Amino acid sequence: MTTELAIGLNCVIVAVTDEEPRVLLVEGDGGLALPSGPLDPERDRTLELALRRWVEEQSGLDLGYVEQLYTFGNRNRDPRERFGAPRVVSIAYLALVREAPLARGGGARWVACYDLLPWEDWRAGRPAALDRAIAPGLTRWLAASIGGQERAGRRERAEIAFGLHGAPWDGERVLDRFELLYESGLAAEAERDGAGATGVDRAGLGQPLALDHRRILASALGRLRGKLRYRPVVFELLPESFTLLQAQRLVEALAGVRLHKQNFRRLVEEGGLVERTGEKNPHTGGRPAELFRFRRDVLRERPAPGVGLPGLKSHG
């Protein structure tokens, strides 16, 4: 029996507003979803042009920075496949924008990323969900394993992914963490898909999305955090002129951690990432702050001009 395939496109569109990373969502058949649409092989000359076309149709946004993220094609990722619908292979993209008004009537809205993945935000300290729900849930999942070898493997994965029992927290392991929550039945999507236990207390574990779209979002956030180290992507999200504190708060919002102010300033200034505009922002609530802009020549000067995560503060 030949399985029919359909090619779809998904887009994780990220903005940072008021120090909060936000993602654009639309109303889909299964609830809130990432913007998505099919590839029209007759009409669409390239995948990216198709993506830009239907994102504009669904939200009114004209995308700027876009990069291909990953291809998602697991069997039954769209539950309609079980009833004879084609298997959908989705090519996901990551787009960075400055938040703008959306087209009316399209059902598009901006939603805080950490409302969807609350365990990823450490800026105010260790997330409550880790100790209240995730660690106990993973302990139950370990206890349900068959045999010591399987249990040891599960324990190692859980400790590395979530920084448990002395293991360090790695901010880039966003996808690993979501996949563990799904596999252990803690993600609401697992119960919806018939892959997780019923009756699990999931309070504080974030709002689910349609299909596997929270998994796609986790992939995008992990990619974005990794790119902070070697690409100046944060400047796609800042206005043309900005204060160094604005830049730091934006990096912290994406990374989900706090940074030491002086170390961050030293890295971006001495690293040649920014240059002074000669102007000041008088609306800082105190002494006017100096304004900077991204120094584009750095792209020619070295291959990996990222801001990194300098002087990472202790989580306590």
Domains of the chain: which residue ranges? 5-115, 118-205, 234-301
pLDDT of amino acid 1: 44
pLDDT of amino acid 120: 97
pLDDT digits (tens, 9 = 90+) for 277-314: 999 987 766 678 899 999 988 888 877 777 777 656 65
pLDDT of amino acid 105: 66
Closest CA to 289 of 311, 309, 253, 261: 261
pLDDT of amino acid 316: 42
User: Cβ(251)–Cβ(273) under 8 Å?
Assistant: no
Phi and psi angles of residue 295, each rounded to the nearest 5 degrees, phi first: -95, 100
pLDDT of amino acid 2: 47
Closest CA to 219 of 11, 20, 21: 11
State the CATH class of domain 234-301.
Answer: mainly alpha
Q: Tokens 């927290």 — which residue?
A: 169
State the CATH class of domain 5-115.
Answer: alpha beta
Tokens of 102: 């959306």
pLDDT of amino acid 261: 92
- Those residues of the chain that have pLDDT short of 50 are 1-2, 316
pTM: 0.91
Question: At a CB cut-off of 8 Å and minimum separation 6, what does 67 contact?
Answer: 93, 94
